[in-house]
Amino acid sequence: MRFFVILRYTGMVMLYVAALMVASAVVAFFNNRDSSFFPLLLSVLLTAMLAIFPLIFVPKTDQINSKEGFCIVVGAWILACVVGMFPYLIWGGEFSLVNAWFESVSGFTTTGASILNDIEGLPKGLLFWRSSTAWMGGIGVVMFALVILPSLGKTKMMLSNIELSSLAKDNYRYRTQQIVRILLAVYIILTIVATLALRLAGMGWFDAVNHGMSAAATCGFSTKNASIGAFDSPLIYIIIMTTILISGIHFGLIFATFTGKRNNIFRSEVTRLYFIIVVIGSVAVSANIYFANIYDSLSSSVMHGSFQFVSLLTTSGFATADTNLWPPFAIMILIFASIICACAGSTSGGIKVDRLLIFGKMVKARMRGQQHPNLVSRLKVDGVAQGPEMLGTVMIFVVTYVVVILAGTTVNALFGLDLLTSVTSAIACIGNIGPGFGEVGSLNSYAGVPVILKLQDTLMMLMGRLEIFGFIQLFFLRSWR
């Protein structure tokens, strides 16, 4: 394995991280050169130096092997999170070393959890930087760079295949170069439309841009302490809910729908199941909080119940209410949403609806096999046959996902968190959701969580964003052949 090649390509990715820092510094400059301006400029300098040295001293190569490609992808994610700490650390405030690492990882993995007690106390340049990390992380730090980098032939295909979930690839049905362009095109358009809609709904430009970026990334970073609830506007709630709902759909299917392709949203089994879950979950939560007299009117119950269910299902984590005050049945449904989450090929995390559908079909096939032992059937999803390797991968992922949650819950409880907080914070971090319940509820932060658990949470965030095996294989490189 050639480490100089890994350094060169991760350096390329860091250039784009530095570019987002420049944009954040510009925001700080036009806001009377607020207190984040010089920390951001210094961060740009440090990040650019880390990026440029490998590009200058490492010779160019267009051919990499699978091990190098894997290290480039995982290394780029980790290094992006490391340099993402710089603006927070240099600015100071609530950002200790661990807190800065937590906020950076939470942004790039689009988890949206925060250690901040006073978000509104941050300067605008730093608020924009938080949203920028989420926006870049939503599309994928490597995928983002691949769209802009010159043609790399097989290298581009290898890097995109490593970062893109195997479940997401079937629905694209395009060449690799087209896939990365489709991803970014849909992502940028969704961000722009959401931003303009929020501005027309009454948000200021700064808040609209930040929330548009965060919503498209299904992250949940807000510029307000009370999240979306601070705006107290049903129209803004609907715009955010619509944006995150769309962001939870396979981007390839969104593109196919608007370009008149056959493999579109309306013909997809996965998308149908996704919307069925949205409707049933929203009705169940809304009805429960209405009959529990949490809100005075049915309309308020439907608005808040639907918003919170969609927010957790899409792993966004935005909030309009304190869900800790809701009845147990509603909390149970919301926890279910946090485990399943949205669709592969979107910006959301979690187990994903695709795997739930495949699991259901496997159970059905197993029952039919017991009834008719000689029956030979092929399991298909959206017309694509799922081979034994894919089915095995789905089952292994689901089992491993549950094991990671149990392990995280155990460690949380060991270090003093109550059971509800222990379970839901583990689910929220591995699913890249952000808020859980208890001490880390929808309107709470992770500020009071012990340092050792903050480090565990960031580890789980990275595992969730890289679909578990993409991350843990980093520790087994010596066993590769």
Give the Cα separation of 142 and 34 in Å (integer). 31
What are residue 380's DSSP bridge partners? 385
pLDDT at 308 over 90: yes
Instruction: Please compute, for residue 238, the number of CA atoms within 13 A of its CA located in the half-sphere on the CB side.
Output: 10
Query: Which stretch of 82-91, 128-137, 461-470 has the lowest confidence by average pLDDT?
Result: 461-470
pLDDT of residue 157: 47
The number of residues making up the chain comes to 481
How many whole angstroms separate alpha carbon 156 and alpha carbon 162? Answer: 10
The Cα 30–Cα 202 span in angstroms is: 22
Residue 277 tokens, joined: 């879950």
pLDDT of residue 369: 73
Is the C-alpha dihedral spanning 167, 168, 174, 178 positive or negative?
negative
pLDDT band of 164, cuts 50, 70, 90: low
- Per-residue confidence at 50, pLDDT binned at 50, 70, 90? confident
**pLDDT category of residue 160 using cuts at 50, 70 and 90:** very low
Average pLDDT along the chain = 87
428-452 mean pLDDT: 94
Cα separation, 75 vs 63, whole angstroms: 18
Is pLDDT above 50 for 34? Answer: yes
More confident of the two residues 3 and 78:
78
Which of 281, 274, 464 lies closest to 382, judged by CA?
274
Whether the predicted pLDDT of 163 surpasses 50: no
Long-range contacts of 61-64 (CB under 8 A, 24+ apart): 61/2, 61/5, 61/8, 62/152, 62/153, 62/154, 62/155, 63/154, 63/155, 64/5, 64/9, 64/155, 64/158
Provide the percentage of residues in the chain whose pLDDT is more than 70: 88
Is the pLDDT at 7 greater than 50? The verdict is yes
Region 9-24: mean pLDDT is 89
pLDDT band at residue 174 under the 50/70/90 scheme: low
Residue 432 near residue 313 (C-beta atoms within 8 A): no
């092997």: which residue's tokens?
Answer: 65
- State the residue for tokens 């925060």: 114
Q: How far apart are CA 14 and CA 47, in angstroms?
A: 7
- Cα–Cα distance for residue pair 321/228, rounded to 1 Å: 9
The reported pLDDT for the residue numbered 59 is: 72
Tokens 């003093």 sit on residue: 416
| pLDDT tens per residue, range 53-70 | 877 777 776 677 677 777
Can you give the pLDDT at residue 130?
Answer: 96
41 pLDDT more than 60: yes
The per-residue pLDDT for range 216-274, each reduced to its tens digit, is 999 999 999 999 999 999 999 999 999 999 999 988 888 888 887 777 888 888 999 99
- Please give the model's pTM, rounded to 2 decimal places: 0.91
Q: Per-residue pLDDT for 101 more than 80? A: yes
pLDDT at res. 319:
95
**Structure-model confidence comparison of residues 323 and 2, the more confident one:** 323
- The pLDDT value given to residue 286: 97
Inform me whether the pLDDT recorded for 8 exceeds 60: yes
Token match 């978000």: residue? 119
* Lowest mean per-residue pLDDT among 113-122, 213-222, 264-273, 310-319: 264-273
Cβ atoms of 314 and 343 within 8 Å: the answer is no
